[in-house]
Every structure is written in structure tokens, then in C-alpha cells.
């Protein structure tokens, strides 16, 4: 810890303040093991960016401290939570049961400060679950107990769980709020058994007012954990304490979850979070840009950014994209507009060999319309194939700039006049049909950026 703190002090002097705020502030010391300093970063983009750009100065800073101790340190970045396997070994274990007198801090320190209800942007895919969380904050252990939140990766489950913790503590400083990931629960349980501390373990968890367990799907197949959690659950439930659980799967899909736990998880309210739609993504991007980066995104740019991510967006990736964009702009001292974003993000989203080749354009169009490459190259005339085929031909002409005969050849040997006809038809429709134009715009961006 000391080493990291002094290293951070050195780094603060070495890099511009904006860089420090953007990248270094969110790094957290985890532990030192075998002369390696483990530091936690929020996501993979941070990890990649820091590794590429700042690793050498971080190593220097750490080792200038290490020298005094005659030791040589390595530094390893670990990604928070998104990859639980990575953090598994570094999970922190605390077995202390704080007394009622100890303040808010004890309960709050594990909560991420920015994950509050007011920072959670509402949209059609999450308004139900957000409302449920607000109800829990207002009236814990009354209406929805347990509250079971499920949804895909990066859609805000951890955010909401933290938000409930903050909300409860804002209202009642003395509340005993515990946020824990299921992995941490397992690790702590294992240690407690090994060091004969089960009494403490039970006392700690069974005395909570609010128990927030993240990613409960990791209980799958862990018999002893489930047994222990079953009793914790019962004790809390009987004492009218609130339990909130999250999972990336619905209860019946968690393989190896005991029936008695499954049924208990379904006693209260089950709420799901779905993927956000484009307008919602735009709202989230604007909110994040403003809150995290003090930047106002205009609508066009926000819609552009929303258009280049795939149909199942992960909000964590969205944030990574924004962070990257802003970092590139600050390095170059440029304003962020669509053109800049297009270029900046080109390197961010790794392209295959040639994204603008006819083959790749066909692939992307097929992906969008969920049809097979063989169908787009076939002679089949049904609309669900012929329309994507014409769109692909149009985009090939526009993006790859290959000749009409060349394009025709790669669409199963069609005549150049067929390609010309397709291009004209799509151009005409774009000029009169705004929704259609947006679809083409979206596919085009995906081709250019994703490859
Ligand atoms: P999950 O736990 O479901 O994998 P997280 O809660 O970690 O997802 O969310 C990933 C990131 O996306 C977090 O930084 C979170 O703040 C952000 N996020 C997700 N949903 C929203 C939302 N509706 N409004 C604002 N930020 C969100
Ligand atoms: Mg999570």
C-alpha cells in the first residue's frame, strides 16, 4: 500500500493533471504478492490503454520507491469484476463484524461512489427495475424481498446494487449494509472454514440489515456455499431484513442451484434489465460524458457513437469507447466531431484485414439482416434476400469502389446491369425514406469501424 501510495505521488507530479485525473485516479491498490504490485482498474480499456501508454512510467515510479527497500517490483493491472476469474485470487477478505457504533464509512467504503440512483439513466429497458430499486430504498424489506435482478453483462446490475446501498445509507447512517460479490462470499466462506472462523462468518452475515449479493450465478454447483447461504437467507428473511441479488441468468437457468434456494430467490420480485435502445444509449452517453468528463456531447455525435455499437450494447464498453475518444482528443488537442470520432475509433475497434472489401461488406450486411452469405450471393428473389443483396451492392459500390462487373462477379456472377439497377434503387429510397437512410448509415458505420 505504502509503495503504491508513494508511486502515485510521484506519478501525480510527472503527468498533466487531466491525465492523472482521467487514468490514475481510478486505479486502486489491491495487494503485493511475490514482488508484484497488483492494481485494480475499472475495465479492459483502461487496462489496455494504461499498459500501452503509461506502464513504463508506472514501473519507474514503483521501482524508484522499491529501490529504497532493495526490491524490484513488477506491476500487474487487474480488471475489476468484469472478469471475475482475474480478480478471484485478489479478492479481499474481511472478517470483522463492525459494531453498530462504527460509522457509515464501514458500510459505504465498498460501494462505488458514482454508482448512485441519480446517476442511473432510465430508459424502457430498465425503468421497471429502477423503480423496484427505488421502492427498496424507500421501504426496505417490505414489498420486494428478495429483489432478484437479472440481465446481461454490463447492463447496470452492479450499479443498481450499489445504488441501493447508497440510498439506504443516505436515509439511515446506522444501517448495516453489506455489498458483496458471490465470489467474495465463497472465498470468505472457504477461509472461514479453513481458519475455523465460521462463528464469526455467520454472525457477520446474519446480522446485516441489507445484504446485497452480486452475480449470484457463481453459486452454481457450490453445495456448501449454497447450504450456508440458505441459512443466512432464512435468518435475514425471518428478521425482515432486505436481500437483493443479481444474476446474469434467470433462476431456472442457473445450473446446479438447489431447489430450495431457487424457490426462495423467487419469493419476492424478479426484475430484468434488457439491452438499451438507441435513444437510451444516446442518453447514457450524454450523461456519462457530462458527469465523468465534463463534456457536452451534441446529438449528432451521440447518435453517431450509438450507431457504431452492435445491437446488444454493453454499457461498460460504451464507457470505454467514450473514454478512449476523449483521451485521443485531449492528446491531439482536437475537438471531437463525427469525423474525428470515426478516425479515432477505427483503431479502437480492431479491424480485420480489409473492412472495405466486398466480402466484408457482404458479411456485415448479412449480420445485420441475420441471413447467410450464401443467400446474399444466390439468385433467390424473395424480399428478405433481395433487399439485403441490393443494399450490399450499393454499399460495395460506395465503400469498396470496385467496378460494377467486379461487384457483380462476387455476388454469384451477376451482370453489371443488375448491380447498377440495385445501386440506383437504393439511392432513390435513401433520398425519400429517412428510416431506411438511418439503417444504411448504421450498417455503413459498422463496416467502416468493426471490420
Ligand atoms: P453489470 O453489473 O450488469 O455487468 P454494471 O453495473 O457494472 O453492469 O454496469 C457497467 C457500467 O455501465 C457501469 O459503469 C455503470 O455505471 C454503467 N451503466 C449501466 N447502466 C447504466 C445506466 N442506465 N445509466 C448509467 N450508467 C449505466
Ligand atoms: Mg456486475
What residue owns the CA closest to ligand 1's atom 11? Answer: 316
* Pocket, ligand 1, Cβ cutoff 6 A: 115, 119-121, 126, 151, 153-159, 284, 315-316, 319
- Tell me if the pTM is above 0.85: no
User: Which atom of ligand 1 has the smallest separation from the CA of 162?
Assistant: 6
| Nearest ligand to the C-alpha atom of residue 181 | 2
Q: Average pLDDT in the 324-328 region?
A: 85
Give me the torsion for CA of 104, 108, 113, 115, rounded to 10°: -120
C-alpha grid cell, residue 259:
431447489
What is residue 314's predicted lDDT score, i.e. its pLDDT? Answer: 82
Q: Which one of 316, 318, 321 would you pick to mutate in the ligand 1 pocket, going by the greatest count of ligand atoms within 8 A of its CB?
A: 316
User: Across the beta sheet with 210-214, what order do the strands follow?
Assistant: 177-181, 210-214, 242-247, 147-151, 269-273
User: Which atom of ligand 1 has the smallest separation from the CA of 121?
Assistant: 24
Q: Is the pLDDT of residue 341 over 70?
A: yes
Q: Is the pLDDT of residue 440 over 90?
A: yes
Q: Tally Cβ neighbours within 10 Å of residue 292.
A: 16
Q: Is the pLDDT of residue 126 over 60?
A: yes
User: Which atom of ligand 1 has the smallest separation from the CA of 42?
Assistant: 14
Phi/psi for 371 (5° steps) reads -125, 170
What residue owns the CA closest to ligand 1's atom 14? Answer: 316
What is residue 202's predicted lDDT score, i.e. its pLDDT? Answer: 94
Percent of the chain whose pLDDT exceeds 70: 89
What residue owns the CA closest to ligand 1's atom 18? Answer: 156
Please state which of the ranges 87-91, 307-311, 331-335, 360-364 shows the lowest mean pLDDT.
Answer: 87-91
- pLDDT single digits (tens) 252-292: 999 899 999 999 999 999 999 999 988 999 999 999 999 88
- pLDDT single digits (tens) 15-25: 877 678 777 88
What residue owns the CA closest to ligand 1's atom 25? Answer: 120
Mean pLDDT, the chain, integer: 86
Alpha carbon of 318 to ligand 1 centroid (Å)? 10
Element (H, E) at 55: helix 55-68
Q: Find out whether the peptide bond into 146 is cis, omega within 30 degrees of 0.
A: yes
Alpha carbon of 358 to ligand 1 centroid (Å)? 37
Please state which of the ranges 160-174, 309-323, 402-416 shows the lowest mean pLDDT.
Answer: 309-323
Amino acid at each position: 500500500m505504502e509503495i503504491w501510495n508513494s508511486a502515485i505521488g510521484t506519478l501525480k507530479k510527472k503527468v498533466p493533471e487531466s491525465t492523472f485525473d482521467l487514468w490514475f485516479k481510478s486505479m486502486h491498490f489491491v495487494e503485493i504478492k511475490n514482488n508484484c504490485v497488483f492494481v485494480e482498474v475499472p475495465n479492459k480499456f483502461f487496462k489496455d490503454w494504461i499498459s500501452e501508454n503509461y506502464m513504463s512510467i508506472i514501473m519507474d515510479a514503483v521501482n524508484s520507491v522499491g529501490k529504497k527497500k532493495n526490491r524490484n517490483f513488477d506491476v500487474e493491472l487487474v480488471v475489476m469484476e468484469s472478469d471475475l476469474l482475474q480478480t478471484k485470487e485478489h479478492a479481499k477478505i474481511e472478517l470483522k463484524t463492525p459494531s453498530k457504533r462504527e460509522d457509515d464509512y464501514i458500510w459505504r467504503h465498498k460501494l462505488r461512489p458514482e454508482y448512485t440512483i441519480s446517476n442511473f439513466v432510465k430508459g424502457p429497458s430498465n425503468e421497471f427495475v429502477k423503480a423496484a430499486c427505488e421502492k427498496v430504498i424507500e421501504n426496505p424489506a417490505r414489498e420486494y424481498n428478495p429483489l432478484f435482478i437479472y440481465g446481461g453483462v454490463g447492463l447496470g446490475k452492479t450499479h443498481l446494487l450499489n445504488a441501493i446501498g447508497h440510498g439506504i445509507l443516505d436515509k439511515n447512517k446506522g444501517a448495516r449494509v453489506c455489498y458483496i460479490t458471490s465470489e467474495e462470499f465463497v472465498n470468505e466462506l472457504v477461509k472461514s472454514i479453513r481458519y475455523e472462523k465460521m462463528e464469526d462468518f455467520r454472525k457477520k452475515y446474519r446480522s446485516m440489515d441489507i445484504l446485497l449479493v452480486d452475480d449470484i450465478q457463481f453459486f452454481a454447483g457450490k453445495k456448501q456455499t449454497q447450504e450456508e447461504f440458505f441459512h443466512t437467507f432464512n435468518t435475514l428473511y425471518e428478521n425482515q431484513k432486505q436481500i437483493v441479488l443479481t444474476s446474469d441468468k434467470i433462476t431456472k437457468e442457473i445450473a446446479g442451484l438447489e431447489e430450495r434456494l431457487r424457490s426462495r430467490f423467487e419469493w419476492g420480485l424478479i426484475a430484468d434489465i434488457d439491452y438499451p435502445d438507441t435513444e437510451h444509449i444516446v442518453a447514457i452517453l450524454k450523461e456519462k460524458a457530462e458527469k465523468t468528463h465534463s463534456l457536452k456531447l451534441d446529438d449528432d455525435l451521440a447518435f453517431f457513437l450509438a450507431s457504431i455499437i452492435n445491437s446488444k450494447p454493453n454499457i461498460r464498453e460504451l464507457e470505454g469507447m467514450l473514454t478512449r475518444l476523449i483521451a485521443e482528443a485531449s492528446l491531439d488537442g482536437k475537438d471531437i466531431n463525427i469525423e474525428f470520432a470515426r478516425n479515432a475509433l477505427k483503431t479502437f475497434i480492431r479491424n480485420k484485414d480489409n473492412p472495405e472489401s466486398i466480402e466484408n461488406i457482404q458479411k456485415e450486411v448479412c449480420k445485420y439482416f441475420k441471413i447467410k452469405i450464401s443467400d446474399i450471393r444466390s439468385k433467390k428473389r424473395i424480399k428478405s434476400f433481395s433487399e439485403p443483396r441490393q443494399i450490399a451492392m450499393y454499399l460495395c459500390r460506395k465503400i469498396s469502389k470496385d467496378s460494377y462487373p467486379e461487384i457483380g462477379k462476387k455476388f454469384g456472377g451477376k451482370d453489371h446491369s443488375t448491380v447498377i439497377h440495385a445501386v440506383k434503387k437504393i439511392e432513390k429510397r435513401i433520398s425519400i425514406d429517412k428510416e431506411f437512410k438511418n439503417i444504411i448509415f448504421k450498417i455503413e458505420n459498422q463496416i467502416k469501424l468493426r471490420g
